[in-house]
A and B are shown apart, each in its own frame.
Chain A
């Protein structure tokens, strides 16, 4: 990856889309402070990020709930580790569980929940610490299509109330356009860079269940896909070429 210059304003929902291997997750991990860039620097609110980014929360693609903690203990984790008393943290967690529709599941263990419910728990876990930035790495990619649309809708509602900045990684252009204010396209790896950035001016609040029929959505989708297509086929061709060399 090289020459990535990416700015996310507070309160903006920015999606990063790119073909496989374009370094989407790497960008996110650098923003989170889990990885350090070999050149250049990452800044959060004007301050360089050293170590873990304290103003950000991260939602992972895989399940990241602690399997040995109940739902409510998982949600409380960020607060209790910051020194909030258990009773207070639990009260706050209950509020969040109610928001994500899980108030009757507080005492379950993660393995007793469905995939969608685990994602809701993860959302509550990430938001309860009141971060300024939310980093999301294909958080819904493991869900079935229907559950996924419902989760996207709920995420959007939560975000609209909050005024937080979101960086959302996905390989699904539909999802990116439907959710974001801005869609950033990464080129084919290795040595990928930002090849395009598109402002999504579909008015909010949006109803994600119908948005795919919106003429503005269709037009934007055609335009961005025209650019993304090039990168995707590049990735595909180089993968084919590599296979040909190996064979």
Chain B
């Protein structure tokens, strides 16, 4: 499992799949001297216990200031309190709504425009400098203006998340469609494919690897967009809850909010992985 965002390069290599000889790519067995998966998990667990334990002990001993770095036990207590009292769920729901809407709209528009621009060379050349300009803009500066335009409700966050998601999906789709193997396109054409059939049988499946590598990042960005937006001004949501805790110097609450968000994002990433494995099952198991 990796954290969202660090995945980008992973499946790119397979974006231009030429169907070379992959017969030998079976599931990799651990090499000699390498740890089995179970042993690795145990060591990871041990590492977690050592780090959190050291934090806890140093905090209790007064070496670390408990005000700025609350004890792990206190943080987990706060998490439990937020969860068991049901306090966190309405906030989480608001954030999820914003993130899902931002993701859906951003991905849909990104995919559509990506496919169109990849197939119509004129439009790509026409729009390229503008897209580069907007992409160069640090997106956070848009949050205040979106707040003014769309108000404190969810739509300002959706708009903000959209600007983050759109560009990632768009550029990946554009690149994915453009990097389709020429010979696959020619072959499908010779077999009588219309432009629509080319899209369905060749371009979309071929671009899927790229689109998926962008999905992992863009799901994370959709949530980032929602939380940052809420933090700057909202009436509900995880960002709002964290901002409230910070307002009363409740660092435990800030950490608890971070922890809950982290878990939620991990779960979503897991689901995206599942979907990816299903849709890209034709791909040979990566040997590296």
Measuring CB to CB, which residues of chain A are less than 8 angstroms from any residue of chain B? Answer: 32, 34, 52-54, 56-58, 60, 62-70, 77-78, 81-82, 109-115, 118, 125, 129
Contacts and interface: CB of A to CB of B under 8 A. Distances in A.
Of the candidates B191, B208, B283, the one having the most CB atoms from chain A within 10 angstroms of its own CB is B191
Interface of B: 17-23, 25, 183-184, 186-194, 197, 201-202, 205-206, 208, 280, 282-284
B282 A68 contact: yes
15 contacts: A52-B190, A53-B190, A57-B191, A58-B186, A60-B183, A60-B186, A63-B18, A63-B19, A66-B201, A67-B283, A68-B206, A77-B188, A77-B201, A81-B193, A109-B282
B191 A78 contact: yes
B183 to A, nearest CB: 5
Contacts of A54: 192
B174 to A, nearest CB: 20
A230 B280 CA distance: 51
A140 B218 CA distance: 43
Given A60-B183, A68-B282, A112 B23 contact: yes
Top-10 shortest CB links A-B: A64-B187, A78-B191, A63-B19, A111-B22, A68-B282, A58-B190, A68-B205, A111-B284, A67-B19, A109-B282
B131 to A, nearest CB: 29
B184 A66 contact: yes
Nearest to B206: A68
Given A63-B20, A114-B23, A78 B282 contact: no
Contact of B19 (A58, A77, A111): A111
Contact of B189 (A52, A65, A113, A129): A52
B128 to A, nearest CB: 28
A200 B94 CA distance: 78
B13 to A, nearest CB: 14
Given A62-B183, A63-B18, A82 B192 contact: yes
Contacts of A112: 23, 284
A77 B22 CA distance: 23
B23 to A, nearest CB: 7
B23 A111 contact: yes
A238 B17 CA distance: 35
Nearest to A117: B23
A169 to B, nearest CB: 15
B284 A66 contact: no
Nearest to A65: B19
Contacts of A77: 188, 191, 201
A112 B20 CA distance: 10
A29 B205 CA distance: 25
Contacts of A81: 188, 191-194, 197, 201
A66 B188 contact: yes
Given A66-B201, A68-B205, A81-B201, A57 B190 contact: yes
B19 A78 contact: no
B187 A58 contact: yes
A82 B193 CA distance: 8
Contacts of A68: 205-206, 208, 280, 282-283
A233 B167 CA distance: 54
Of the candidates A56, A62, A114, the one having the most CB atoms from chain B within 10 angstroms of its own CB is A62
A56 B190 CA distance: 7
Contacts of B20: 63
Given A60-B183, A66-B202, A69-B282, A115 B21 contact: yes
Contacts of A62: 18, 183
A109 B205 CA distance: 14
A53 B21 CA distance: 30
Contacts of B280: 68
Nearest to B191: A78
Given A65-B19, A68-B282, 7 more contacts: A57-B190, A64-B186, A68-B205, A78-B192, A114-B21, A114-B23, A125-B191
